[in-house]
Chain A
């Protein structure tokens, strides 16, 4: 993945910024609005985030996170029993690292996508975990959170 993405992305970036598009929710005028995609990298990333129900961009891997915030995302998913998710290590690929920030118009890593839609970073995922929204969002994707069963056990 990363080799062809790197070449395509590098070529596109030489033509200047503006190669972004799609994705992201909750846009406000002037915020989260991006120029029309000139194809290439944006399309590849669009396909990437839509390929799996749960997609995360991390520093490091789920087995070996290299950032406390990325680790928090991994741990939250683990708590909910989400095992089948796509994780991309931006430390492996500088073009991906910048490209995904352009794509989502979000300046930091980690980034979480649910059903192809950008949801937020570590803070937002933590908030969703704490207020029950994550259980609901996973349910919409047909993923039953492990915490539902835990909760039922507690209340018996």
Chain B
């Protein structure tokens, strides 16, 4: 519940207290998630920002902040191609993408487009990544 509320919150959050894990095993938001949120707020002034840490579904240690999915809804995207929109998101998160964030699934929509389908999709299942070796070390 809290997680969903946080996902829907569009108030800029400069600081966020580090939360301990809840019983379901997912953190209420680590530092990387907070940074992503803050930077996208600042860069795009989104009407809607939904962010989900999907690291739990990948071959990374518990508590990782490496795989994210984000839905950004902003009228700034009007007239921009998908490529331009994604590049804008990348630019805002260049530090994270050069650092801990390994995967970022992006839904970048105008407010009208979001209203047609207002939901954060789910990512395809992990297939092991580079951890899955085939006969070589």
Q: Which residues of A contact B (CB under 8 A)?
A: 24-28, 30-32, 59-60, 64-72, 91, 105-108, 118-124, 127-128
Contact = CB atoms under 8 A, between A and B. Distances in A.
Contacts of B104: 107-108
25 contacts: A25-B81, A26-B80, A26-B81, A26-B87, A27-B87, A28-B87, A28-B88, A30-B91, A31-B90, A59-B129, A65-B127, A66-B132, A68-B123, A68-B126, A72-B124, A105-B87, A107-B94, A108-B102, A108-B103, A118-B83, A120-B82, A123-B105, A123-B107, A127-B82, A128-B82
A25 B83 contact: yes
Interface residues of B, number: 29
A10 B104 CA distance: 27
Contacts, number: 78
B130 A66 contact: yes
Interface of B is mostly: mixed
Contacts of B81: 25-26
B124 A71 contact: yes
Nearest to B91: A31
A60 B127 contact: yes
B86 interface: yes
Contact of B90 (A107, A124, A128): A107
Contacts of B34: none
